[in-house]
Amino acid sequence: MERDYIAVLDFGGQYAHLIAKRVRHLGVYTEIVSPSADVAALRGAKGVILSGGPQSVFGEQAVPFNPRMLELDLPVLGLCYGHQLLAHVMGGEVRNLGRGEYGRTELQIAARLNAIMADHGGEEPAIRTMVSAGPLVWCRTHGASGRRPVERGDVMYVDACGVFKRYHADLCRTFSIGQDHPKARAILEYTRDSVVAVQWAVKPGDPLDVAQRAAEEHVFARYGPESVWWVGGYALGVALPPNWVGHTYLSNDAWEPFTWEPGYVTNYENILFDRDEGFTASYMETLLMTEDGIEVLSQVPRDLIVVEC
């Protein structure tokens, strides 16, 4: 017995699988189908969704497509590239307005950040600059940057280090491309204050794990472990590739206990995510213990940053 379903044609965009997943969450079965497949591949389909993609509908850049799919007596929804393709195939006019939806790749953004830091006297960091975006960003926050172009609607994670005479200062922020992301914003508006909780709780000479307990108490008061990738931090200092992490963590579970002494430098991370919605809400700071208490070295707000495009 054949199963009714909605067919999602994959034109190479990152969102084809996410579209299929969202439709399934509405209680409707979906299957991802090649846009060049024979019409027999749509047997049993009750509708067709044409996904987005990074290519043009014109000439050699166009993704191979079987136009006979549009001759079937099925409702069709086109999204982004799929919408343009429908207009193009049906005799409409599709024009290039001089500004594409897709921007630089993650690798290009990371390379640009490294170049800017070098222009300002910085040095190569002991850990790579990490840029990740799109529907899989929730599981790629510490992954290598890829060739995927950043798209409008993406949530983007950027983690970079300023380096001078091999001393490192870490900074990470979450960006939303082209539009606000209310759910990511709400998470950051709450978790940003865990830094303040740590500053209030810790004084010079305290064990490192006083900070860990204060951070976890704040974050887990609202968000469960299924939404928290990590809350914590590790020592920073002089480092050369490939060494990066210091030998002490805020959890204070190294081979001997350590305390917050003036001059101690650590990064501090709140990495939260939503797997079903496909986004992260993360930040990192660099904390310095002084004679008077913890100082946050960055002045960049920990809120979601919306990038116009």
Query: Domain ranges in the chain?
Result: 5-89, 102-307
Distance between CA atoms of residues 223 and 225, nearest Å: 7
Cα–chain-centroid distance for residue 159? 10
Contact between 71 and 98 under an 8 Å Cβ cutoff? The reply is no
CATH class of 5-89: alpha beta
Residue type at position 195 = V
Which helix (DSSP H) or strand (DSSP E) does residue 40 occupy? Answer: none
Distance between CA atoms of residues 143 and 212, nearest Å: 24
> Residue 115, Cβ neighbours under 10 Å: how many?
11
pLDDT at position 98:
57
Q: pLDDT per residue over 262-309, tens digit each?
A: 999 999 999 999 999 999 999 999 999 999 999 999 999 999 999 986
Mean confidence (pLDDT) of the chain: 90
Q: pLDDT per residue over 50-88, tens digit each?
A: 988 767 777 666 788 898 998 899 999 988 888 888 888
pTM value? Answer: 0.72
Per the document, the length of the chain is 309
CATH of 102-307, one of 2.60.40.730, 3.90.230.10, 3.30.1660.40, 3.30.70.1170: 3.90.230.10
pLDDT at position 1:
46
